[in-house]
Amino acid sequence: MSRIALVHDYFVPMGGAEQVVELFHELFPLAPIYTTVVARQRLTPRLREADLRPSWMQHLPALERNFRRYFMLYPLAIESLDVSPYDLIVSSSSGYAKGVRRRQGAVHVCYCHTPMRWAWRYDSYVAREGFGRLTRMVLPLLLEGLRRWDQRAARQPDYYVANSQVVAERIRQVYRREAIVIPPPINVSRFRPSETDEDYYLVLSRLMAYKRIDLALEACRHLGRPLVIIGDGPDRKRLEKMAGPQVWFLGRQPDSVVTRFAGRCRALLFPGEEDFGMTPLEVNAAGRPVIAYRGGGALETVVEGVTGVFFDEPTSHSLAAAIEEFEGRSWNRAALRRHAEQFDRTVFAARFLKFLSTVAPSSCAQEVAAWTNLPSFNLREKSA
């Protein structure tokens, strides 16, 4: 039996946070993964094989369609998870998982993607969500209670690991806790640079209003540039109404399609302010540059003039100007790839497990150290 338990907010949308949990599962394959709800049809093959243990929320009606509407139930569900048999709890949290209740003497390490965005950055998160008047009146009252819970839950972890300096500062401001920074893992080997250049810009993203895909649509429409959008989400209908004739919405696509488009695009457009943003590095791994908003985690991953360019204002005009500037430059594909390799999953695993080895209970020492023998990772040298 594993002495380690993994905890994650939920498995409904699949994004960067779920990639982190997937890697945790590879490192600790015997550790169960506790969570609130699971949309199994969306899981990667590796996560489908994991010991997933959802809460009572799994039995709620129309779960996949309504999982955001149940937001006031997640604190109750997280606190109902029984992780008392485990000596080391590793949580992956952008909302609720940090609130899991451990027994006395156990150690809880939280890998924090961000403090709860919809509670603490309400104005920027919901500004373009199209909520009705009644929702806008009631939601702030509900979120006040959620913020109070979040403050209490933030005391549960013994240690915080942030995915970026931006998030570490938010943890300090919101939770009054310190965090070390370990950037999340990029699966560099998944991507291969292509010698084939095609004439389109690319967006790879969940279609959420706060991600500002509308800026990419407007800028490309203004310039007459082709745009391919891979991803799905609640903002898709609104975005489709805005789209010009040279915009293609491909929805969710398998890895083979994503890697093909990433390797042949002119550049990735990254118009929102993200906590970290793994996609720019994935596209760099495919030998392609990025045009990103100058804010958030992109400041820590985009090297201006080497791996991409920034635009300074959250407007389509500013993005269009950056696209025109970008088109006057040339890019070294090998340099782009080398930059992404600094964030490879093996680098992450070595750094994260090295940290765990300093804080894990002695009962978990052997399990934490077992990563050095995993055939899928060559970490001995990288951990030096």
- Residue of 243 and 126 predicted with greater confidence: 243
pLDDT by residue (tens digit) across 109-139?
A: 999 999 988 777 666 555 555 555 655 666 7
Strands 227-230 and 308-311: unpaired
Is residue 264 located within the same domain as residue 362?
A: no
More confident call, 186 vs 127: 186
pLDDT greater than 70 at residue 382: no
Q: Clarify whether residues 231 and 88 are in a common domain.
A: no
Q: How far is CA 325 from the centre of its chain?
A: 29
How high is the pLDDT of residue 109? 98
The secondary structure of 280-348 as a DSSP string is HHHHHHTT--EEEESSTTHHHH--BTTTEEEE-SSSHHHHHHHHHHHTT----HHHHHHHHHTTBHHHH
Structure tokens at 333: 């594909």
**What distance lies between CA 198 and its chain's CA centroid?**
28
Structural domain of residue 162, as residue ranges?
A: 4-185+344-373
pTM, two decimals, is: 0.86
Residues 74 and 200 in one domain: no
Average pLDDT over residues 321-343: 96
pLDDT band at 380 (very low <50, low <70, confident <90, very high): very low
Per-residue HEC secondary structure of 9-68 comes to CCECCCCHHHHHHHHHHHHCCCCCEEECCECHHHCCHHHHCCCEEECHHHHCCCHHHHCC
Assess contact for 331 and 302: CB atoms under 8 A.
no
DSSP state of 92: E
Percent of the chain exceeding pLDDT 70 equals 91
Q: Is residue 378 part of a domain?
A: no
Per-residue pLDDT averaged across 296-301, rounded? Answer: 92
Q: Residue 369 domain-assigned?
A: yes
> Best-predicted range by mean pLDDT among 142-146, 157-161, 345-349?
157-161
The residue type found at 76 is L
For the chain, the distance separating the N- and C-terminal CA atoms, rounded to the nearest angstrom, is 30
What residues are paired with 270 via a beta bridge?
292
Q: How is the chain split among helix, strand and coil, in percent rounded to 5?
A: 45, 15, 40
In this model, does residue 343 exceed pLDDT 50?
Answer: yes
In this structure, the answer to whether residues 181 and 310 fall within a common structural domain is no
Domain count, the chain: 2
Per-residue pLDDT at 381 exceeds 50: no
Domain assignment present for residue 382? The answer is no
Q: What percent of the chain has pLDDT over 90?
A: 77
Do 279 and 162 share a structural domain?
Answer: no
Residues 24 and 123 in one domain: yes
pLDDT digits (tens, 9 = 90+) for 4-43: 999 999 999 888 899 999 999 999 999 999 999 999 988 9
Q: Are residues 227 and 313 in the same domain?
A: yes
User: Residue 276: which pLDDT band, with cuts at 50, 70 and 90?
Assistant: confident
Mean pLDDT computed over 221-235: 95
Residues 221 and 90 in one domain: no
Same domain for 181 and 192, yes or no, is: no
- Chain position carrying tokens 């052997």: 366
Confidence of residue 222 (pLDDT cuts 50, 70, 90): very high
For residues 98-135, one letter each, b for 16 or more C-beta atoms within 10 angstroms of the residue's C-beta and e for the rest, the string is bbbbbeeebbbbbbbbbbbbbbbbbeebbeebeeeeee
Model pLDDT, residue 53: 98
What CATH number is associated with residue 313?
3.40.50.2000
